[in-house]
Amino acid sequence: MGLASLDLVDFRSFPAAQFSPDPEGTTVLLAPNGTGKTSILEAIGYLGTARSFRGAPREVMIRNGADDAYVRATIRRSDTDVLIESQLSRHGHSRIRVNRQPAKTRRDLAEAVAVTTFAPEDVSVVRGAPAQRRDVLDDALLLLEPTAGHLLEDTARVLRQRGALLRQLHGRLTASNATTLDVWDERLAELGDELASSRDALTVELSPRIAELYRSLAGDAGEANVTASYSRSWVGPLRAALAAARGDDVRRGVSTIGPHRDDVALTIEGRDARAQASQGEQRSLALAIRIAVHAAATAARGEPPLLLLDDVFSELDLGRAARLLELLPRGQTLLTTAVPPPAGLSDADLVDVRKLHRDP
């Protein structure tokens, strides 16, 4: 699988742009900061996940003065080409189509254009809020599990409905509302246990790979002890835990337990990586997590996802940069840099982003 072409209209700073990278090897987007390098990767990542890896809302990705932005890509598969088209709207509904058919779930997008991404902001996967670690697991599940898209969307829908009901109660539970809450609890218990089990199993699978990659990146092969473990916000069956937490949920007007409250515990030599690791350790661990997901997806799918690396070398010392190059997997890789790339990328295609601009 590889990106064959990308067309942008009114996306970020681009009135229009066209891009055709190396379909199998590494393409380096080289240009000064502020010229749109990251925006190119952001557009590609959006097609595979329906969100910005920079955490930006959709309206921010639309060029100033425009009402809509358009992203269009052709993905080359071994048997056929896949056309993906996205419209980001400032006022109406944003939409993504795959071969001119609406993408109904996030799994549809992951299947059409599988991507894994690393950006400087990814260090927050280690030191940031639990939601960022859950997002990594959920994005990985979308690449690995055929049913993950429906499971994630159904769980999110039930949590929204249960949350809306709890807010409407204003701290008082009537018999009628208790019956309705029973229905949502039953559904959340079923979905939440399934989602947590899937996340837990994936974490167990990824943990030794993350540890190995971390040691390679950090130059501590065979030494540093790194662990990743899934931490649920409840004990035992979720149905019983929801019943026990009902009084607190009604009083506070929120769902205090469930898969939306879970976390992934990361340790380095027994230290909490979120609070007790150095910035270099956190960055190496974040990279290890992303590459581990990429490797697992490659093994499961039989072909590597498109790998997007945004300005990664500016955040790594020379040793870690060299070791990262050694670990880059096979397949199509797009990376950005504002300075000449390391010697290990001498065979990569170099593209000046400033030359991608086109007249609208």
- What are the tens digits of pLDDT across the range 175-216? 999 999 999 999 999 999 999 999 999 999 999 999 999 999
For residue 167, the enclosing domain spans 122-304
> Model confidence at 80, in pLDDT bands (50, 70, 90)?
confident
Is 138 in the same domain as 275? yes
Clarify whether residues 256 and 334 are in a common domain.
Answer: no
Q: Which of 154-168, 227-241, 310-324 has the lowest mean pLDDT?
A: 310-324
H-helix segments, the chain? 37-49, 106-112, 124-127, 130-144, 148-169, 175-218, 238-252, 273-276, 279-301, 318-327
Q: Verify that 234 and 188 share a domain, yes or no.
A: yes
Q: What is the mean pLDDT of the chain?
A: 91
The answer on 336 and 268 residing in a single domain is: no
Assess whether 230 and 325 both reside in one domain: no
Q: Are residues 237 and 352 in the same domain?
A: no
Shared-domain flag, residues 142 and 273: yes
**Phi and psi angles of residue 222, each rounded to the nearest 5 degrees, phi first:** 80, 5
Q: Could you tell me the CATH number of the domain that includes residue 256? A: 1.20.1050.90
What value does the mean pLDDT take over residues 79-93? 91
Model confidence at 103: pLDDT above 60: yes
What is 71-134 written as a DSSP string? EEEEEE-SS-EEEEEEEEESSS--EEEETTEE--SHHHHHHHS-EEEE-GGGGHHHHS-HHHHH
Please tell me the distance from the alpha carbon of residue 241 to that of residue 224, in angstroms, as a whole number. Answer: 37
What Å distances lie between residue 97 and 15, 20, 94, 104, 113, CA to CA? 21, 20, 10, 9, 12
Instruction: Report, as an integer, the average pLDDT of 157-172.
Output: 97
Least confident of 93-97, 301-305, 355-359: 355-359
Q: pLDDT tens-digit profile of 246-280?
A: 999 999 999 999 999 999 999 999 999 999 999 88
338 — pLDDT class (breaks 50, 70, 90): confident
Q: Where does the pLDDT of residue 146 fall: very low under 50, low under 70, confident under 90, or very high at 90 and above? A: confident
pLDDT in tens, 111-127: 889 999 988 788 999 99
Number of Cα atoms under 13 Å in the Cβ half of residue 97? 9
Query: Mean pLDDT across the stretch 332-347?
Result: 82
For residues 69 and 17, the answer to whether their CB atoms sit within 8 Å is no
Closest alpha carbon to 358 in 44, 13, 47: 13
pTM listed for this prediction: 0.89
**Picking from 50-64, 102-116, 124-138, 335-349, which range would have the lowest pLDDT averaged per residue?**
335-349
Residue 287's Cβ-count burial label (10 Å; 0-12, 13-18, 19+) is buried
Q: Please state, in angstroms and rounded to a whole number, the distance separating the CA atoms of residues 326 and 319.
A: 11
Q: What residues pair up with 74 in beta bridges, in sequence order? A: 5, 83
Residues 95 and 135 in one domain: no
328 and 275 in a single domain? The answer is: no
Banded model confidence at residue 221, pLDDT cuts 50, 70, 90:
low
The yes-or-no verdict on residue 219 having pLDDT over 90 is no
Q: Minimal CA–CA distance to 93: which of 126, 119, 68, 56?
A: 68
The predicted pLDDT at position 312 comes to: 83
Q: CB-hemisphere CA count at 13 Å for 330?
A: 5
Q: Does residue 8 sit in the same domain as residue 73?
A: yes
Give the residue from 289, 304, 319 where a domain finishes.
Answer: 304
Q: How many domains does the chain have?
A: 2
32, 70: one domain: yes
Q: Residue 319: what pLDDT?
A: 80
Alpha-carbon distance of 141 to 152, in angstroms, equals 9
- Asked if residue 178 and residue 151 are part of one domain, the reply reads yes
User: What is the b/e burial string over 142-172, where b = at least 16 CB atoms within 10 angstroms of the residue's CB?
Assistant: bbbbeebbebbebbeebbeebbebbeebeee
Instruction: With CA atoms as reference, report the closest residue to 257 among 124, 162, 167, 165.
Output: 162
